Amino acid sequence: MAKTTTNSAKKPAAKAATKPAAKAATKPAAKAATKPAAKAAAKASAKPAAKAAAKPAAKASAKSARKAKAKSAKKPALTLSMLKPSVNNMCVRVFARAAGLDHSETDVWGHTRSPEYMARNPAHLTPMIEDKGLPRGVLWESCAIMQYLANKHGLEKLYPKAPAKRAMIDSAMFYLIGTLYPYVARATYPVLNFPQYAGEVGHSDAHPDNKAEAQKAAIEAIAEPLEVFHSFFRNGKPFIGGKNPSIADIRLAATLEFLAAIDYALPQWAKEYMTAIEKKLGKAYAEPAADVRGYIAYVKSQAAA
């Protein structure tokens, strides 16, 4: 009996003793075993994850780099053929810059009557743009070019859509090319060494005194249309376009640049007006204007030599 009691007493005691020991032994062992295993597992899983994340990012950056390279290599959508000393050309050059249009410029001085140029432009005029959207691929006449590009790109700030406002812009431009500019051309072209138009006294074999008289009459006639721009088209506004310069303002300011060739005494409002336009448009105006001014300075230096 004593033996049986002793055996049965030992079994519970052994179980009770081994349970805490087993728990105590396995906890540190498990922790010690799982920490390096967890770290290794984390590293192993992190590497493929990092690679997987890096691949799309690398592909995206490479793709954007290729696109940027292709964009820079791509030809500008708009090509402008121009003559740097001309104010007719200057206004389109100013417009393209002010509008932020992606374009390239080609100086075609001395090439406007080449077979290649004449094949595209039988009128042999500048400025000329080449654009895929045009029925014949090309367009000349500065005002028409600015109107077309403003319409195409929705440049309402430079050429408003409202019929009444647009009509005033159109009227100012047509009055300029029909009335003011012919006076400016007659007054300045002889000094600038530009050929005058057929039918003009300056173009004929008339006596130099007659040519000088015609030039003087043109100079005197400039004051009247200038005042029309001041009192009617601006009418107290900073610009013809209102608070901001319009395509009519660009055309007028560029035209007035030529009057420096004959040292024309511009009225004070016109001086302030030109300064305000250049300030408002910044480099868009100053860069093309520098070419015109540089040519005028060169012509004057040659005359003085």
> Do 261 and 188 contact (CB within 8 A), yes or no?
yes
pLDDT at residue 197 in the model: 84
Secondary structure of residue 132 in the 3-state scheme: coil
> Do 187 and 201 contact (CB within 8 A), yes or no?
no
Which is nearest to 173 in space by CA: 125, 127, 256, 229? 229
Secondary structure of residue 140 in the 3-state scheme: strand
pLDDT at residue 74 in the model: 64
pLDDT at residue 92 in the model: 98
Give the contacts of 187 (CB within 8 A, at least 6 positions apart). 215, 218, 219, 222, 259, 262, 264
At residue 155, φ and ψ (nearest 5 deg) are -90, 70
Q: Residue 232: what residue type?
A: F
- CA of residue 30 relative to chain centroid, distance: 70
Which is nearest to 173 in space by CA: 146, 140, 139, 138? 146
pTM for the structure as a whole: 0.76
pLDDT at residue 133 in the model: 86
Mean pLDDT per block of 10 residues along the chain (305 residues) reads: 41 45 45 49 50 55 57 72 98 98 96 97 97 94 98 97 97 98 97 90 91 96 98 97 97 98 98 98 98 98 92
pLDDT in tens, 266-288: 999 999 999 999 999 999 999 99
User: Residue 265 and residue 281: Cα distance in Å, rounded?
Assistant: 24
Task: Report residue 77 as tokens.
Answer: 């959508």
> Burial level of 231, CB count in 10 A (0-12/13-18/19+)?
exposed
Scan for tokens 């300056």, then name that residue.
Answer: 202
DSSP H helix total and E strand total for the chain? 11, 4
Cβ burial 49-86 (10 Å sphere, 16+ → b, else e):
eeeeeeeeeeeeeeeeeeeeeeeeeeeeebebbbbbbb
